Chain A
Amino acid sequence: MAQQNKNARPHGPMGGMMAVQKAKNFKASSKKLLKVLRPYFPAIIIAFLFAIGGTVLNILSPKYLGNMTNVIQDGIQLDSNYQFLGFAVDMQKIANIGIMLIIFYVVSAIFTYVQGYIMNELTQKITQSLRTQISQKINRLPLAYFDNTSIGDVLSRVTNDVDTIGQTLSQSLSSMITAITTIIGVPIMMLTISPLLTLVPLVSIPVSLIVVMLIVKFSQKHFKNQQEYLGDINGLIEEIYSSHNIVRVFNGVEKATEDFQEKNQKLYGSAWKSQFLSGLMIPMMNFLGNLSYVVVCIFGGHLALNNKIKIGAIQSFTTYIRQFNQPLSQIASIANVLQSTVAASERVFEFLEEEEQPTEEEKTAKLTHVEGNVRFDHVSFGYQPNKEIIHDLNVDIKAGQKVAIVGPTGAGKTTIVNLLMRFYEATKGDITVDGVSIFDMKREDCRNLFGMVLQDTWLFHGTIRENIAFGREDLSPEEVEKACSFAHIDHFIRSLPNGYDMVLDETANISQGQRQLLTIARAMVQNNPMMILDEATSSVDTRTEILIQNAMDKLMEGRTSFVIAHRLSTIKNADLILVMKDGNVVEMGKHEELLAKKGFYHDLYMAQFDEQNA
């Protein structure tokens, strides 16, 4: 059903068209969307009633305006030879109809506004709650979900998809009601005025409909192409611009330009065709409007001569035919609008329905005093259910020991961190701290056991103080500053404009090394009983690296620590080295023991450092 996920829709009479996504399961997703809307049904129904009321008044008024003209016609004074003498219009009647019409217009405007107001309030409520739900959902999903999903994907659900739903709620729904009311109401009004004259639009409306559909159909193809070629050329521009150095030094400018020209030409072709075709809509509708006007006038004139209708009827009819054309093009686009709305809500619900981490209300185990004895007891784990990478791991770590995790890039060193912090759950076996299984604790209690400093230094938009005291609003300024001086960053912070109250954002000029020190200070104030650290490898200059190392050493003092180690000195001093390869722990022991074993660690070590020994 969704082989083609891009489609186009006409968007208003100007014909700006957009790509439309189709839902995978239209029925199920629409049901879910309706379920979200259910609490608001009374409000929606009221809004719809107002919409219908406003439209009905709108439809009624041309008839009365026509009646006014009839009154004028009645005032025509003719002599016996049908020669025009002058007017004697009954101004009282005119005033009566006029006042009624004023009431119609004002009430209709109020109705329209009330309808828009209700839908606007309701849309904002619903989109706000959807965004909140998504935001909360993020925190309840297991990490595994995010390791397999791109950030952009989740982001676009929070923004684009919710926006699409909002747009439909606030605009498309009520304009659909208005359109339907008009399409039903206008023919009724025409029939009440003159059933005979109604024959004219009966012919002209299908003609308009066919014209609209033809234009939409032809331009759709080119809009789709335009969207595609635009994506193509923008992709090329992005690629070439961001690789400027390479393109230049490899003399690739000419080739890039050729590529570009070809894509540019294609885009041009589809761009003008789609714009041209959709631009035909207005003149065509204009012409059809005028054509039916003339036909109504001729036909109506004939009837009027035979005194079957009055001139006001003709006037009302021409207004009605115009009123009828707009909803026609709206209805043509509504199918596509609904499609993309349901597709958007499908993506939102898909996310909201992802399986969450199990709740842990019943878990009560808690450590009041932590020694720091950590035991991996027959632990097995795999990121995919059928692909176990850690097999039956048994490690016994005594309080205060330092554990180094080493291995080549991509060997899965962070897996151990993931298991300890319960970012991922071991599939078999048990991990205990001081004899208590971390699986018997609440996740948050387990995570409170460990402080963490990762290479990927995460700072958020906020003051430096907030960044350091993250999650611990109870800390005094002195405690924060003390941690910073331990982390050798106090001096730097004080040299910044606004010091500890400087707001960190994209423009803040903080080097990678300083970021690292800030995250160390953060770990410092948390004061957790055990530590998980990732040593810096590159992109930090030597002096800062010494500071970082020194700060990390302080963090590890007297604490059981797990270090993803890159530096030889750390590795050599470790009480235990876990050697990882292809996701699994392949060797463990002390440095000398492992070297003597002449296994994988030996190879790794030699490859890293033998040049110096050669």
Chain B
Amino acid sequence: MFSLLRKMNPIYWVCIVVIIVSIFFHVQIDLTIPDYMGDIVNAVMTKQPVSMIVSIGWKMLGLCLISVLLMVLENYLATMVGSGLARHTRQRLFQKVESFSMEEINQFSTASLITRSTNDIQQVQQVTMMVLRIAIMAPIMAIGAIIKIIGKSGQLSLLTMVAVICLLLVLTTLFLLVSPKFTRIQKSNDMLNMVTRENLTGLRVIRANNAEDIQEEKFEQVNSMLVKLNLFVGRAMNLLNPFMNIVMSGLSLSIIWWGASLMNANLIDLGSVTAFISYSMQILSSFMMLTIVFIMFPRGMVSAKRINEVLHKDTKITDGIGLEKVYESHPELQGTLGEVEFDHVYFKYPNAQEAVLHDITFTAHKGETIAFIGSTGSGKSTVINLIPRFYDVTSGSIKVDGINVKEYKIEELNNKIGYVPQKGVLFRGTIASNIAYGKEDATKEEIVAAAKVAQAHSFIEQFPEGYDHEIAQGGTNVSGGQKQRLSIARAIIKKPEIYIFDDSFSALDYKTDKELRSQLKNYTQGVTTFIVAQRIGTIMDADKIIVLDNGKMVGMGTHEELLKNCQVYQEIAYSQLSKEELDGTAK
């Protein structure tokens, strides 16, 4: 957590120092207040004139006011530091994640990165504010109050110590008893969620199998488990309040009681006893606060650790020297457009045993369509993910327009590529803003043109607001096929040199798929296109089809050639099309 603070603007350090100093003074003041109270008591007891009480009162109130002002200042600074830390760390984390390649993203998993950027930061913010206010104050307060009382009466101090030990013992026991149950309650809650989710997603299957009772029984099991745990925790935690009351009131009572006999022995006066009670209460509450800090602090530390893990992770994929420099030394490369060359490419995921891709070599010339086909896990998507450097090759090289992709600045490389993912990804905003994501200065005409090619225009027109139709977060308010078509339009509007379609037609029905591809063909003349697909129909007319099996190229050629000489391709083709139809095409 401190390493997070270290990276912050020095002004925050000044704030923290000011907070500590301010806390020190306000605690000192708070520690003198009981003395004044004691003085007032003694004044009243000994029938001093009211004017004297008033003058003590004024002094006391003046000090109180200063203390309050200091507390307000601390509060102000602590909230500034806490929220500032959250803002700053959130920003750093976000930028860090944005610099990651898919390799680092997968290492953490997207879900975990999201929790780290949201919940963990909130947690750190809360713990920071708490530490700044309570964790600094409690020990100062405790030590100061202890010093005060020891001088007043050794015997009564002993009494206070016993109370503190009682308090700490019970708090720790309760905490040790209950905290493992909290984890189990969390787990049971997750289970409850899971069973309910299961019920809801499996409604049709459950009903078809008349298995409603079985599911209800499962739910009941988890439910009663949860209730059992909750009952236990409730019974234990309910002890807390009555117990603390007994300790606090018991201590005040004992101090007065014992104090009375001390007074009889002329060892102490009543004012001191009253002040003593206040001090011992301050000690008790300091220790209580410290316990809370000890419970909360580890949570903050865990979150801080999770954040630091991300911040200390460096991305392996960084900008190259850039086109400008490359052209300086190799001016002949200028002007090449749409050439992609794979040269003995091997790829292995980090920590994986085996390589996903073995010795992939091919060249795509300007304007060609290259298709990849193969069973799941054959490495089709991996091949094309290497072009925009979502991952870097393990060995071998990939050249775009004659230049190794690693030498480009990432932005330069991206400018050449129009990428369409398998799952249509949309952003919150309008349909128009989503399409124009590929080209920020796009005109309305360009947007409509791109949508028309992507076969999206007709369904967009059906929305009452047309292109201004709002897209919800995650694009949940349009269908899978519509998402895919909008993603395609987004790539089209960019007018790139190279298109990459990662199984981007799977959610479209055959008719739309076909229409889209024929339009695209006209529109993308002279543009190099990579297509990954499951359906033979989608790729049959590609210039080059590359057949992958277990990461190795087992065939390359046109549909007709592969039907004749590639066994894996034949298998795939026969499973999807009937023999007559294939024979018809193979002629």
Contacts and interface: CB of A to CB of B under 8 A. Distances in A.
B57 A294 contact: yes
Given A249-B419, A301-B50, A311-B45, 9 more contacts: A82-B47, A88-B264, A237-B94, A238-B114, A246-B419, A248-B98, A261-B91, A297-B44, A572-B578
B270 A110 contact: no
Interface string A112-150: 110011001101110110011001101100010010000
Nearest to B415: A251
Interface in B560-580: 571-572, 575-578
Residue among B199, B490, B584 facing the most chain A CB atoms (10 A cut-off) = B199
Given A272-B83, A293-B37, A127 B227 contact: yes
Contacts of A545: 575
A290 B60 contact: yes
Given A297-B53, A301-B44, A421-B207, A257 B514 contact: no
Nearest to A154: B200
Contact of A87 (B133, B266, B377): B266
Contacts of A143: 203-204, 207
A109 B245 contact: yes
A252 B437 contact: yes
Given A106-B246, A268-B87, A612-B584, A461 B198 contact: yes
A120 B86 contact: no
Main secondary structure of the interface of B (DSSP, over half): helix
B390 interface: yes
A252 to B, nearest CB: 7
A542 B208 contact: no
A550 B263 CA distance: 98
Contacts of A283: 67-68, 71-72, 75
A132 B223 contact: yes
B270 A243 contact: no
Contact of B71 (A286, A408, A423): A286
Q: How many of chain A's residues touch chain B, expressed as a range?
A: 35 or more
A603 B100 CA distance: 47
Given A109-B243, A120-B234, A275 B41 contact: no
10 shortest interchain CB distances as A-B pairs: A541-B375, A116-B238, A109-B242, A120-B234, A471-B209, A471-B211, A283-B71, A607-B511, A139-B212, A272-B83
Interface string A517-547: 0010010001000000000011111111110
Contacts, number: 423
Contacts of A612: 537, 540, 577, 581-582, 584-585
Contacts of B71: 282-283, 286
B216 A139 contact: yes
B534 A538 contact: yes
A394 interface: no
17 contacts: A73-B45, A89-B261, A102-B250, A112-B242, A121-B231, A135-B216, A139-B216, A170-B234, A247-B98, A272-B84, A297-B37, A301-B50, A311-B41, A470-B214, A473-B214, A549-B575, A612-B584
Nearest to B266: A86
Contact of A511 (B53, B68, B376): B376
Interface in B215-247: 215-216, 219-220, 223-224, 226-227, 230-231, 234-235, 238-239, 241-243, 245-246
B253 A101 contact: yes
Interface stretch (B170-178, B420-428, B449-457): B420-428
Interface residues of B, number: 156
Interface string A221-248: 0000000001001111111111111111
Contacts of B540: 611-612
Interface stretch (A35-43, A188-196, A446-454, A480-488): A446-454
A108 interface: yes
Contacts of A512: 376
A605 B261 CA distance: 105
B295 to A, nearest CB: 14
A265 B90 CA distance: 11
Contacts of B234: 116-117, 120-121, 123-124, 170
Interface in B27-85: 33, 37, 40-41, 43-47, 49-50, 53-54, 57, 60-61, 64-65, 67-68, 71-72, 75-76, 78-80, 82-84
Contacts of B556: none
Nearest to A422: B207
Interface in B373-426: 375-378, 388, 390, 410-411, 414-415, 417, 419, 421, 425
Most buried by A among B43, B212, B253: B253
A75 B211 contact: no
Contact of B125 (A151, A252, A271): A271
A243 to B, nearest CB: 4
A388 to B, nearest CB: 21
B204 A237 contact: no
B83 A68 contact: no
A75 B581 contact: no
B511 A301 contact: no
A542 B375 CA distance: 6
Contacts of A135: 196, 199, 215-216, 219-220, 223
A443 B245 CA distance: 60
Given A73-B270, A275-B129, A452-B205, A297 B256 contact: no
B68 to A, nearest CB: 4
A65 B253 CA distance: 7
Contacts of A271: 79, 83, 86-87, 125
A212 B330 CA distance: 74
A252 B417 CA distance: 13
Contacts of B376: 511-513, 539-541
Contacts of A282: 71
B200 A155 contact: yes
Contact of A102 (B95, B189, B253): B253
B507 interface: yes
Interface stretch (B345-353, B359-367, B473-481): B473-481
Contacts of A499: none
Nearest to A111: B242
A460 interface: yes
A94 to B, nearest CB: 5
A315 interface: yes
A250 B208 contact: no
Contacts of A252: 437
B535 interface: yes
A105 interface: yes
A291 B61 contact: yes
Contact of A91 (B110, B261, B419): B261
A556 to B, nearest CB: 17
Contacts of A336: none
B200 A98 contact: no
B551 to A, nearest CB: 14
Contacts of B209: 447, 470-472, 522, 526
A241 B388 contact: no
Contacts of A542: 375, 571-572, 575-576
Contacts of A470: 205, 209, 211, 214
Contacts of A199: none
A273 to B, nearest CB: 8
A567 B417 CA distance: 35
B138 interface: no
Nearest to A314: B44
A538 B375 contact: no
Contacts of A609: 537, 577, 581
A94 B256 CA distance: 9
Contacts of A607: 510-511, 514
A348 interface: no
Contact of B428 (A239, A248, A546, A614): A239
Contacts of A314: 41, 44
Contacts of B33: 290
A353 to B, nearest CB: 19
Given A117-B238, A275-B129, A124 B245 contact: no
Nearest to B95: A257
